Amino acid sequence: MGEYALANIYQYKETAQKSAELLGVIGDIMNVRKRGEKPLAYVHTYGCQQNVSDSEKIKGMLYTAGFEFTEDRNEADFILFNTCAVREHAEDRVFGNVGALKNIKRRHPSVIIALCGCMMEQKSVSDRIRKSYPFVNLVFGTHSISRFPQLLFEVLVNSKKIIDNDVDDNTIYEDIPTLRDKSFKGFIPIMYGCDNFCTYCIVPYVRGRERSRESAAIIDEVKSMVAAGYKEITLLGQNVNSYGKGLKEDITLSQLLQRIDEIEGDYILRFMTSHPKDCTHELIDTIANSKHISKHLHLPFQSGSSRILKKMNRRYTREKYLDIIAYAKEKIEGLSLTSDVIVGFPGETYEDFLETLSLVKEVEFTSLYTFIYSRRPGTPAAELPDVVTDEEKGKWFTELLKTQEAIAAKRCASMVGSVERVLVEEVNEKYGLLSGRTSGNIIVEAQGDESLIGTFRDVKITEARNWILRGEFI
């Protein structure tokens, strides 16, 4: 079990009090039902940081109800999978793993099995769960997290299956307790949902409309994390560049970052994800002039072909993307760039793919998150003819990976001999080395004592291993 730090116990609102009371009752019921000394919860998270952050809230509620946490689902009294719908492969994995829970339920009929997250917002999925996985007790969507205490309470008291994914509640609840996975780095969602409707993407359908948190709540949360000793804080949103839209206060992401940057302390501030269509010069200047913001920009380009970008509804061209990159490289010293890219979007030709490849060579990203297009029923792109074979797409994909590996290796090799400030994060079990990240998000490994975890250290880089660096603590 990781280290847990409990933050933000209920602040206000009647609903919160109701939830807090319910959590007490749930705790009492679970104390009677539990198999061991304490009721144990197993929470597994698939997907992106947004899901990790949601799981931290659910764990916060479970902790408040008196649960402890286990990594072993066999001994758990409550099992939860927080699921991701972004690609078909992700969904297949979840169905496989849920199927395997049947045996646990057979051996321990009292265990409560729950599924939540993006996948569960799709009716086709909840119908399949209802029909084919009768041992699942509770299904709830991303809009129902604040209702989790009520839902669990109903499952426990009425012993009936509950599916709660029909809600379109876009309220932001500030009153949910958070149990962070780590005590030195953590996420803060600054907005929820997405309004961009990129034609390949399921996220807007499962996460709902874009909505921002009030800046005061975010700033308070940053302050409390810095005061609690957090060294890295990542602001989250599907498109953080449109932060502030729809709020009563007049504020942009750049202004929010500037206000946070004024908070004193030894910490690094990250944010993701930026959308190129809204990535302003003001934002880049803010990064360049800040004290705490990492010199790192994650700016997904998805495709290097303007023709494909148009079909993706990305609302920028290759040229516009390269203009932003050029400005960022000019202004931010030591800038590290990362990105997301999709290979094999319907209608993409090899010529389009070559434009992706040439963009990758031109920009020289530190690292890339590469995906083969996955058809998502319900999205516009799912209706487009897709004639390139999987085998062909696989070849393009390999070509892209090789190109990026060579770029990353060259970059890492050029860093040998330099001294990097690294936030030490964990032990790499395989090599028995400590592992951490630079401000530019490059992984660095070095021999050292576990007590260094959660601290910033200077490391002299001695060796480059493809996209990972090795070095010695100074």
Among 49, 306, 374, 455, the residue binding ligand SAH under the rule CB under 6 A is 374
Binding site partner of 204, from ligand F3S, ligand SAH, ligand SF4, none, Cβ cut-off 5-8 A by kind:
ligand SF4
- Min CB(87)–ligand SAH separation in Å: 5
Asked if 464 and 409 count as a contact pair (C-beta separation under 8 A), the reply is yes
Decide: is 57 part of the binding site for ligand SAH (CB under 6 A).
Answer: no
* 163-222 positions binding ligand SAH, by CB under 6 A: 200-201, 203
Among 30, 152, 156, 203, the residue binding ligand F3S under the rule CB under 6 A is 203
Binding-residue pattern over the window 277 to 316 for ligand SAH, x denoting contact by CB under 6 A? -----------------------x-x--------------
**Interatomic CA distance for residues 169 and 21, integer angstroms:** 22
Asked if 314 and 278 count as a contact pair (C-beta separation under 8 A), the reply is no
Phi, psi dihedral angles at 385 (to 5 degrees): -65, 140
- Min CB(90)–ligand SAH separation in Å: 10
Phi, psi dihedral angles at 298 (to 5 degrees): -95, 110
Decide: is 60 part of the binding site for ligand F3S (CB under 6 A).
Answer: no
Cβ contacts of residue 196 below 8 Å, gap of 6+? 204, 238, 239, 275, 313, 315
How many other CB atoms sit within 10 Å of the CB of residue 99? Answer: 12
Asked if 184 and 450 count as a contact pair (C-beta separation under 8 A), the reply is no
Of 236 and 400, nearer to ligand SF4 (C-beta) is 236
Burial string for 397-415 (b: 16+ CB within 10 Å, else e) reads: bebbeebbeebbeebbeeb
**Interatomic CA distance for residues 270 and 187, integer angstroms:** 9
- Min CB(204)–ligand SF4 separation in Å: 5
Candidate ranges 45-53, 252-260, 308-316, 405-413; the one touching ligand F3S (CB under 6 A): 45-53
- Min CB(333)–ligand F3S separation in Å: 32
Q: Which of 456, 446, 136 is nearest to 265 (CA)?
A: 456
Binding-residue pattern over the window 424 to 463 for ligand F3S, x denoting contact by CB under 6 A? ----------------------------------------
Report the DSSP pairing between strands 456-465 and 419-428.
antiparallel
Q: Angle 390-414/350-363 helices, nearest 10 degrees?
A: 10
Binding site for ligand SF4 (CB under 6 A): 194, 196-198, 201, 203-204, 238-239, 275
Q: How many residues does the chain have?
A: 474
Count residues near ligand SAH (CB under 6 A).
17
Decide: is 48 part of the binding site for ligand F3S (CB under 6 A).
Answer: yes
Binding site partner of 178, from ligand SF4, ligand F3S, ligand SAH, none, Cβ cut-off 5-8 A by kind:
none
* 80-119 positions binding ligand F3S, by CB under 6 A: 84-86, 118
Of 238 and 435, nearer to ligand F3S (C-beta) is 238
Report the DSSP pairing between strands 162-164 and 296-298.
unpaired
**Interatomic CA distance for residues 192 and 208, integer angstroms:** 8
**Interatomic CA distance for residues 364 and 411, integer angstroms:** 8
Q: Which of 392, 196, 439 is nearest to 295 (CA)?
A: 439
Asked if 358 and 350 count as a contact pair (C-beta separation under 8 A), the reply is no
Decide: is 237 part of the binding site for ligand F3S (CB under 6 A).
Answer: no
Residue ranges of E strands in 211-312: 211-212, 232-236, 268-272, 296-298
DSSP state of 429: T
* One-letter amino acid of 324: I
- Min CB(201)–ligand SAH separation in Å: 4
Of 155 and 201, nearer to ligand F3S (C-beta) is 201
DSSP state of 405: H
Decide: is 244 part of the binding site for ligand F3S (CB under 6 A).
Answer: no
Integer-rounded Cα Rg, in Å, for the chain is: 23
Q: Angle 88-107/123-132 helices, nearest 10 degrees?
A: 30
- Min CB(116)–ligand F3S separation in Å: 11
Binding site partner of 373, from ligand SAH, ligand F3S, ligand SF4, none, Cβ cut-off 5-8 A by kind:
ligand SAH
Binding site partner of 85, from ligand F3S, ligand SAH, ligand SF4, none, Cβ cut-off 5-8 A by kind:
ligand F3S
Among 8, 50, 303, 338, the residue binding ligand F3S under the rule CB under 6 A is 50
Among 342, 424, 459, 469, the residue binding ligand SAH under the rule CB under 6 A is 342
DSSP state of 1: -
Decide: is 207 part of the binding site for ligand F3S (CB under 6 A).
Answer: yes
Candidate ranges 201-209, 259-267, 392-400, 449-457; the one touching ligand F3S (CB under 6 A): 201-209
Of 15 and 280, nearer to ligand SAH (C-beta) is 280
Among 327, 371, 467, 473, the residue binding ligand SAH under the rule CB under 6 A is 371
CA 173 from chain centre, in angstroms, equals 19
Of 31 and 124, nearer to ligand SAH (C-beta) is 124
- Min CB(170)–ligand SF4 separation in Å: 15
Give the residues lining the site for ligand F3S (CB under 6 A): 47-48, 50-51, 84-86, 118, 202-203, 206-207
